[in-house]
Amino acid sequence: MEHETEEHAHAPEARPTSIKPDDTIYVGKKDIMSYVLAVVTQFNRGLSAVKVKARGRAIGRAVDVSQIVKNRFIPSLRLTNFDDATEELQSEDGSMSKVSSLTITMEK
Amino acid sequence: MEHETEEHAHAPEARPTSIKPDDTIYVGKKDIMSYVLAVVTQFNRGLSAVKVKARGRAIGRAVDVSQIVKNRFIPSLRLTNFDDATEELQSEDGSMSKVSSLTITMEK
């Protein structure tokens, strides 16, 4: 999910980017190595950049994923961007609550 | 990463311009607003940059702190650096385990 800041006064449309939505791995509650494998697989498919994104308590796990990919699989990995944002989620009772998100861009 | 501004200003009480270890707020298990208050207090003391650092599961909370400071207290806040790392910690049983850390630098 793109995070538009208020500074984009004249931004009529999204900027073209080399990273498509499919290139983003969403980190949740699954085993951490399944996300690591997903990232490594994307790089092995030929992508030069992959993103991991997480919300709330899973943010620490997204950082774990990037560290494990770098330390064990792709030593040349560079973390080129961190994008943090506040998102509004609807709770089960219908109320809105705010949650932080973090998207880490990795390039090799 | 060091941010030098207005060095040798005319005022005798020139602001501190580099980031010392004391300028880092370590985010753990306390109430989130206590960390937010600590960050805002540091800025109000005249610092131009403050860091928050967290390890493991607390990483998401460090992102929360930066988002709350920005959204509620200091709209002009810029998150100028994210520094992630892997640290080794000694467990209670004496074994070493790895944990991710994230340090967020905020400037206003």
pLDDT number for residue A92: 84
Number of H helices, E strands in chain A: 2, 4
Please name the residues between 13 and 52 in chain A that touch chain B, using a CB distance below 8 Å.
none
- Residue A37 contacts residue B37 (beta carbons within 8 Å): no
Instruction: Report pLDDT digits (tens) over B25-47.
Output: 999 999 999 999 999 999 999 99
**Measured distance CA(A47)–CA(A23) in Å, rounded:** 8
What is the DSSP code string of chain A?
A: -----TT-TT--SPPP-S--GGGEEEP-SS-HHHHHHHHHHHHHTT-SEEEEEEEGGGHHHHHHHHHHIIIII-TT-EEEEEEEEEEEEE-TTS-EEEEEEEEEEEE-
Contact A84 B67 (CB under 8 A): yes
Q: Are strands B24-26 and B78-90 parallel, antiparallel or unpaired?
A: unpaired
**Measured distance CA(B50)–CA(B76) in Å, rounded:** 14
pTM exceeds 0.80? no
pLDDT number for residue A89: 86
- Give, to the nearest 10 degrees, the angle between helix A59-68 and helix A32-44: 50
Contact A59 B56 (CB under 8 A): no
Interface test with A, best of B102, B103, B106 (most A CBs within 10 A): B102
Q: Which residues of B touch A85 (CB under 8 A)?
A: 67
- If pLDDT is split at 50, 70 and 90, which confidence band does B10 have? very low
Is residue A74 predicted with pLDDT exceeding 80?
yes
Instruction: Report pLDDT digits (tens) over A11-68.
Output: 444 444 454 546 899 999 999 999 999 999 999 999 999 999 999 999 999 999 999 9
pLDDT number for residue B1: 42
Contact A102 B63 (CB under 8 A): yes
Q: Which residues of B touch A60 (CB under 8 A)?
A: 54, 56-60, 100, 102
Each domain of chain A, given as residue ranges in start order, spans 21-107
**Measured distance CA(A51)–CA(A38) in Å, rounded:** 11
Instruction: Report pLDDT digits (tens) over B54-79.
Output: 999 999 999 999 999 999 999 999 99
Instruction: Report pLDDT digits (tens) over B71-108.
Output: 999 999 999 999 999 999 888 888 888 999 999 999 99
What is the DSSP code string of A57-86?
A: GGHHHHHHHHHHIIIII-TT-EEEEEEEEE
Contact A67 B85 (CB under 8 A): yes
Tokens 């131009």, residue? B48
Contact A57 B60 (CB under 8 A): yes
**Measured distance CA(B89)–CA(A58) in Å, rounded:** 21
Q: Check: CATH 1.10.3660.10 for B21-107?
A: no
Q: How far is A107 from chain B (nearest CA, A)?
A: 15
Q: How far is B41 from chain A (nearest CA, A)?
A: 22
Nearest to B67 by CA among A101, A58, A8, A104: A101
Of A71, A82, A86, the CB nearest to B71: A86
